Structure 1
Amino acid sequence: MSFKTAIIGAGSVGFTKKLFTDILCVPEFKDIEFALTDISEHNLGMIQAILDRIVEANGLPTKVTATTDRRKALEGARYIISCVRVGGLEAYADDIRIPLKYGIDQCVGDTICAGGILYGQRNIPVILDFCKDIREVAETDAKFLNYANPMAMNTWAAIEYGKVDTVGLCHGVQHGAEQIAEVLGAKSPRELDYVCSGINHQTWFIELRLNGRAIGKDELVAAFEAHPVYSKQEKLRIDVLKRFGVYSTESNGHLSEYLPWYRKRPDEITRWIDMSDWIHGETGGYLRYSTETRNWFETEYPQFLEAASKPIDPAKRSNEHASHILEALETNRVYRGHFNVKNNGVITNLPQDAIIESPGFVDRFGINTAAGITLPEACAATCMSSINVQRMSVHAAIAGDIDLLKLAMLHDPLVGAVSTPEEVWQMVDEMVVAQAAWLPQYADAVPAAKERLAKSKVKTREWAGAARRNVRSIEELRAEKAGLKQAG
């Protein structure tokens, strides 16, 4: 087989390498072309060298090109994968820093909450540019695979306004299923059969079977509470399981941001999180992790390049959806996964226009999502709160409507639990002014926002958050990795 796959934001080096090797685990795909594109020539150069090394080491005819000219990369592409982070770590730092001045403590801040909403405002204009290029220069009916957050907002914009065949992809469901299989004592995650449905980062395991035996709430609660690690790392998630009756896909830190109950007071934050790893609730945890990862890669790049000389091992193919979708579409080998698509009746008690994440099957006829799923009422209510914020956020981003943006922020569950309307209005002004370079649709609104900020009497505070850690140096990371290796 021969076709072209373009990766936008290919400078996300580790993830690009994973997608690349996963796709090349499919024997029929050895002759395809990968077109890498990014705004950073430096990052493009690094990832192209790594992928070229993989191709050479495995004696493959695979073609790899790299260019900062996005349209050139998309020309004739059948599949387009997006891994972009618009604004990079600089804008992301403001997504965490500015809300902290108003008492809003986020662990990740990339889905909803204050950071996720602004992240969507930066991404959506760029997503629409991608879609325009796809319509104009890619293969007819090319498929757009979006991995970038905020997943639901990006996918919503691409489908509704970009008019491109789009699916959103995430790995939260797979990771949650692996946890459940482990606590239940399964020898392999394959022993667990499940139905998981909802919206991205708020998907719910509404049906569980282990080797054909139904697993109920009480058994699952007992299994998690007995686990020596998860009982400490997932306290909030287990509490939600007890109250809702079903387990959420999202980690302790992620889930805590989408609810109004666990992060609204500093003492509550420290009660529910775990500091053994960023993902369990640390203030700005993902920002710290992302910064350390980028610094580590830049410093240790020769080691990454050397590791690329190893043979590709199909047994180590990851559970990221992209390669399996391409394989199913091209070879007709059926794949079952969980996909972010427009609802259109798939989940009966969520809005038709919402982007939902739910089970489906892929074959040569496309992605077909199983319809007629009804969520437990508490799960649907929680999803609805986020969907309303997502809808307003998408519409605000499309129109450049700062007033609607403020209303979206006001209705965010965690923001609303922490901040007053006056604080929300000022915080949005401050974030839009700080990130104006990445928000072209708000250019006309920035001067007035600056004037309001100059006259504002709303008090803020300099606060690092309830559980902040400093970014570790390369030397500290080396010492930690050496210690883990020695302990292992």
Structure 2
Amino acid sequence: MSFKIAIIGAGSVGFTKKLFTDILCVPEFKDIEFALTDVSEHNLAMIKAILDRIVEANRLPTRVTATTNRREAMEGARYIISCVRVGGLEAYADDIRIPLKYGIDQCVGDTICAGGILYGQRNIPVILDFCRDIREVADTNAKFLNYANPMAMNTWAAIEYGKVDTVGLCHGVQHGAEQIAEVLGAKSPKELDYVCSGINHQTWFIELRLNGRPIGKDELVAAFEAHPVYSKQEKLRIDVLKRFGVYSTESNGHLSEYLPWYRKRPEEITRWIDMSDWIHGETGGYLRYSTETRNWFETEYPQFLEVASKPIDPAKRSNEHASHILEALETNRVYRGHFNVKNNGVITNLPQDAIIESPGFVDRFGINMAAGITLPEACAATCMASINVQRMSVHAAIAGDIDLLKLAVLHDPLVGAVSTPEEVWQMVDEMVVAQAQWLPQYADAIPGAKERLSKSKVKTREWAGAARRSVRSIEELRAEKAALKQAG
């Protein structure tokens, strides 16, 4: 087979390498072209060198090109994969820093909450540019695979306004299933069969079977509470399991942001999170992790090149959906996964226009969703709170409507549990002004926001959050990795 895959935001080096090697694990895909594009020539050069090394080491006919000209990369592409972070770590730092001034403590801040909503405002205009290019220069039947957060908002905009065949992809379901299989004592995650449905980062394991045997709430709670690691790292998730009766896919720290109950007071945050790793609830944890990862890659680049010289091992193919979807579409080998698509009746008790994440099957006819799923009422209610915020956020981003943007932030569950309307109005003005260079749709609203900020009497505070850690130096990271290697 010979076709072209364009990867936008290919400078996300580690993830691009994973997608690349996964796809090349499919025997029929050896002769395809990967067209890499990014706004950073520096990052593009580094990732291209790594991928070229993989191709050379494995003696493949695969072609790799790289350009900052996005339309050139997308020209004739059958698949376009997006893993962009508009504004990079600079804008992301404001997504965490500014809400903290108003008492809003986020662990990740990239899906909803104040940070996720502003992230969506930056991404959506760019997503629509991608869609325009896909319609104009890509293959006639091109498919857009979106990995970028905020997943639901990006996918919503691409489908409703971009008018492009789009699917959103995430790995939260797979990771949650691996946890459940482990606590239940399974020898392999393949022993666990499940139905997991909801919206991205709020999907719920509504049916579980281990080797054909149904698993109920009480058995699952007992298994998690008995686990020596997860019982400490996933306290909040276990509490939600006890109250809702089903387990959530999302990590302890991420899940805490989508609910109005666990992060609204500093003393509650420290009660429910675990500081053994960023993902369990640390303030700004993913920002710290992302910063350290970038610094590590820049410093240790020669090691990444050395690893790229090793043969591809198909046994180590990851469970990221992209390669499996492409394989199913191109070879008709059926793949079952969980996909972000427009609801259209798939989940009976969520709105038709919402972007849901639910089971589906892929073959040469496309992605076919399993319809008629009904969520438990508490799960549906929790999803609905986020869907309403997502809908307003998408519409605000499309129209450049700062008043609707403020209403979207006001209705966010965690923001509403922490902040007053006056604080929300000022916070949004401050965030829009700080990120103006990435928000072209708000150009006309920026002067008014600046004027309101100059006259505002709403008090703020400089607060690092309830559980903030400093970015570690390269020397500290080296020492930690050496200690782990010695202990292991």
- The two structures have a TM-score, normalised by structure 1, of 1.00
Q: How many angstroms does 1:448 deviate by?
A: 0.3
Alignment deviations for residues 236-294 of structure 1 (CA, whole Å, 9 cap, x no partner):
00000000000000000000000000000000000000000000000000000000000
Equivalent position of 2:248 in the other structure = 248
In structure 1, distance between residues paired with 2:326 and 2:373: 26
Secondary structure at 2:115 match in 1:
helix
Alignment deviations for residues 167-188 of structure 1 (CA, whole Å, 9 cap, x no partner):
0000000000000000000000
In structure 1, distance between residues paired with 2:301 and 2:442: 38
Residues 40-51 of structure 1 mapped to structure 2, 5 A cutoff:
40-51=40-51
Is 1:139 the counterpart of 2:139? The answer is yes
In structure 2, distance between residues paired with 1:274 and 1:107: 11
In structure 1, distance between residues paired with 2:212 and 2:83: 37
Equivalent position of 2:271 in the other structure = 271
Q: How many angstroms does 1:142 deviate by?
A: 0.2
In structure 2, distance between residues paired with 1:285 and 1:389: 23
In structure 2, distance between residues paired with 1:307 and 1:314: 16
Residues 225-264 of structure 1 mapped to structure 2, 5 A cutoff:
225-264=225-264
Secondary structure at 1:304 match in 2:
helix
* Structure 1: gaps of 5 or more residues: none
Alignment deviations for residues 1-50 of structure 1 (CA, whole Å, 9 cap, x no partner):
00000000000000000000000000000000000000000000000000
* Structure 2: gaps of 5 or more residues: none
Runs of 4+ in 1 over 2 A off after TM superposition: none
In structure 2, distance between residues paired with 1:252 and 1:34: 36
Equivalent position of 2:453 in the other structure = 453
Alignment deviations for residues 279-331 of structure 1 (CA, whole Å, 9 cap, x no partner):
00000000000000000000000000010000000000000000000000000
Q: How many angstroms does 1:141 deviate by?
A: 1.6
In structure 2, distance between residues paired with 1:24 and 1:104: 43
Alignment deviations for residues 310-367 of structure 1 (CA, whole Å, 9 cap, x no partner):
0000000000000000000000000000000000000000000000000000000000
Alignment deviations for residues 380-408 of structure 1 (CA, whole Å, 9 cap, x no partner):
00000000000000000000000000000
Secondary structure at 1:109 match in 2:
coil
In structure 1, distance between residues paired with 2:448 and 2:145: 37
Residues 150-169 of structure 1 mapped to structure 2, 5 A cutoff:
150-169=150-169
Alignment deviations for residues 397-422 of structure 1 (CA, whole Å, 9 cap, x no partner):
00000000000000000000000000
Alignment deviations for residues 122-163 of structure 1 (CA, whole Å, 9 cap, x no partner):
000000000000000000020000000000000000000000
Secondary structure at 1:154 match in 2:
helix
In structure 2, distance between residues paired with 1:141 and 1:59: 31
In structure 1, distance between residues paired with 2:420 and 2:280: 27
Q: How many angstroms does 1:441 deviate by?
A: 0.1
Residues 361-372 of structure 1 mapped to structure 2, 5 A cutoff:
361-372=361-372
In structure 2, distance between residues paired with 1:331 and 1:218: 42
Is 1:216 the counterpart of 2:220? The answer is no
Alignment deviations for residues 91-131 of structure 1 (CA, whole Å, 9 cap, x no partner):
00000000000000000000000000000000000000000
In structure 2, distance between residues paired with 1:89 and 1:230: 30
In structure 2, distance between residues paired with 1:414 and 1:368: 34
Secondary structure at 1:198 match in 2:
strand
Q: How many angstroms does 1:447 deviate by?
A: 0.2
Alignment deviations for residues 413-446 of structure 1 (CA, whole Å, 9 cap, x no partner):
0000000000000000000000000000000000
Secondary structure at 2:71 match in 1:
helix
In structure 2, distance between residues paired with 1:242 and 1:83: 35
CA RMSD in angstroms, aligned pairs only: 0.1
Secondary structure at 1:250 match in 2:
coil
Q: How many angstroms does 1:81 deviate by?
A: 0.2
In structure 2, distance between residues paired with 1:482 and 1:447: 51
In structure 1, distance between residues paired with 2:269 and 2:132: 43
Q: How many residues align?
A: 488
Secondary structure at 1:162 match in 2:
coil
In structure 1, distance between residues paired with 2:79 and 2:369: 20
In structure 2, distance between residues paired with 1:176 and 1:306: 32
Equivalent position of 1:202 in the other structure = 202
Equivalent position of 1:320 in the other structure = 320
The percent of aligned pairs where both chains have the same amino acid is 95
Equivalent position of 1:96 in the other structure = 96
In structure 2, distance between residues paired with 1:117 and 1:184: 37
In structure 2, distance between residues paired with 1:143 and 1:326: 10
Equivalent position of 2:19 in the other structure = 19
Secondary structure at 2:444 match in 1:
helix
In structure 2, distance between residues paired with 1:408 and 1:138: 34
- The two structures have a TM-score, normalised by structure 2, of 1.00
Is 1:176 the counterpart of 2:176? The answer is yes
Secondary structure at 2:109 match in 1:
coil
Equivalent position of 2:346 in the other structure = 346
Secondary structure at 1:444 match in 2:
coil
In structure 2, distance between residues paired with 1:338 and 1:369: 9
In structure 1, distance between residues paired with 2:258 and 2:156: 19
Q: How many angstroms does 1:79 deviate by?
A: 0.1
Equivalent position of 2:69 in the other structure = 69
In structure 1, distance between residues paired with 2:170 and 2:39: 23
